[in-house]
Copies of this chain bind each other. A is one copy, B any other.
């Protein structure tokens, strides 16, 4: 299969010489740019990339007849990813584009050989779902004129890649506001990792809602997690075991919320009678929960649509100025939230009802 030399083989040795001559550099410098290696100044790299793109465009009509779209995705079988992928596939299918799906590593990165294979496949574009791409790989795609778009739930800062996100601050605010409107005053939150902008934004929305209601933020009620079910379970238990326990929890992912459900069940608290819970994402598991989960709807279908449309626009206008759009989030009220019952003592764990 392909490796760096075979990548060069795509453009003839004569073409490389021509580019080197026009850019006034050595062939090995052109080769470095082509393969995303270091040791070339930004300015020279840009000049060479422009020339290479020009050569590539002339060859473009030889694109395969059954066009492909490459998607690199973290945790293909997570409920979140599978809903995004189904949406991308539906749009691609409507345009008779084949979706090539590749999973990412635990570090949200592609395997080393992935970009070589993408270059061989010559897709219309590449969509990243909850993944990042090393600068070297981005450059290699760029030099072949293959557009790249991120569907980015994490808000990972990558200003050089167009990205489609959703309104996380707004979601955090809406979730907390809903609980405040029901009369809750002690509202716990389980947040995501500090280094994810999405987590910070949701937490910030929570704080802003409390502020606007004139309530202090109690550090004891803010719990960290990694967006796994087990974190929701552990932190839900911790929150429910506090002397002055919260009457509501904003679980900032639906998986957290299911963990909180299990914590409440095992400690004998009824949802929503004893505890209101709001999730985040509005995955299908939210509807299947018992009781069905009140949550923040993340517009996954619209995000997928935007990503594919953007790939197509970038093919037509490679210089299109586009950095990021965030699509709006909304509150979906189901059965896991209820007005605070003011008469009941909330301070101690009940005996299990099992």
Contacts and interface: CB of A to CB of B under 8 A. Distances in A.
A33 interface: no
A101 B99 contact: yes
A111 B290 CA distance: 36
Contact of A64 (B111, B120, B285): B120
Contacts of A2: 65-66
A89 interface: yes
A290 B265 contact: yes
A276 to B, nearest CB: 13
A262 B285 contact: no
Contacts of A255: 288
Interface residues of A, number: 53
B93 A103 contact: yes
Given A66-B117, A117-B96, A103 B77 contact: no
A273 interface: yes
Nearest to A69: B100
Interface stretch (A80-88, A210-218, A243-251): A80-88
A255 B261 CA distance: 17
Given A77-B83, A96-B113, A270-B353, A90 B66 contact: no
Contacts of A89: 76, 101-103
Given A1-B96, A79-B79, A290 B270 contact: no
A76 B82 contact: yes
B353 A258 contact: no
Contacts of A284: 77
3 residue pairs, one from A and one from B, having the closest CB atoms: A66-B120, A77-B86, A82-B82
Given A76-B86, A99-B100, A229-B288, 15 more contacts: A2-B65, A64-B121, A70-B98, A76-B82, A77-B86, A81-B82, A85-B101, A89-B103, A93-B102, A93-B103, A261-B290, A262-B291, A265-B290, A270-B353, A270-B354
